[in-house]
Structure 1
Amino acid sequence: MMKSLITTLLLITGISMAQPNHLPTSIPQTMSFQAMITDTLGNPITDGMHNFRFRIERPNPVQGGQVHVIWEETKQVAVVDGVISTVLGSVTPIGAMPFSNNFSLSVALGNEVISVSPLTSVPFAFNASRAMSANNATHADTAHFTHQAGHAHHADS
């Protein structure tokens, strides 16, 4: 019984110590990316390490439809059963981009561009956009969450 209690207390202590004390101070400059890569017949490409080039681009109307490369990263990525999973920005940080523009993600296998897809929002990004310009916070649990708000309602500490 005592051994079980000590084990439980150690587990609870370990979990509580592992919790972060604060929120991240900045937004990660990376994006997760997964894709199924197939040949022209729809078969998964060969397993192994392959050289991929990833680019974030935007149209450049001044140059007759050519694209302007905002960010680029080339790296070896493991392919398993045609699937790749990587973190974009792990080699070259993506950095801040003016998301008022239309951007696309271009993916090349070797020197051949195999996909160009528009970058679109996820639902929480719409709310985050509003929160960035909030002048007050309602029902914030701690002052840490409201330190940038102009006015806070119901902040507990």
Structure 2
Amino acid sequence: MLSDRDEYLSVPISIELLFENEKLELMKVLCLIYSISLKSKRYVSISEIVFYFTLVNFNFIKIFEDINTTTSPNLFFRFQSRISNIIIHMNNLDFIDLKAKLSTKTDDIKIRISNTGKEFYIEHNSVFFEELQEKYISTFEKVNYTFSNLKILKEGKS
């Protein structure tokens, strides 16, 4: 007998996991935060995390490399809406240290990787994450996180 979910699902679960895999996204964010920690021990805003995640994982780096590239900011906003849940899970797993007040906006919350997060990332590192880490580090060197660059990413480039 089909469950209610299966009855109305138009996409096989294997395909759904390919595009909406929360655990994979969590590991990609952990990889990003770990990569930042190699450069600096500072806390980083959620906004900066979303910025670099989008540049690398959605290949939006091309906006800053090629003048004739056009993009749509939809992927940026879709990920921005999911980052809160990822951060909550990472905090519950003690993978990150948070720096925020009760009134702090989500984008302004500052985080950094905890020792538990570092140990987990190193233990579960793979060729995929090593290559992703190299892409993050390369992107840090190519594109600075600035208000004007964030604006370009949010508005798209035409």
Which structure is higher in strand share? 1
Larger radius of gyration: 1
Larger RCO (alpha carbons 8 Å, 6+ apart): 2
Which structure is higher in helix share? 2
Aligning the two structures, in what range does the TM-score lie when normalised by the shorter sequence?
under 0.3
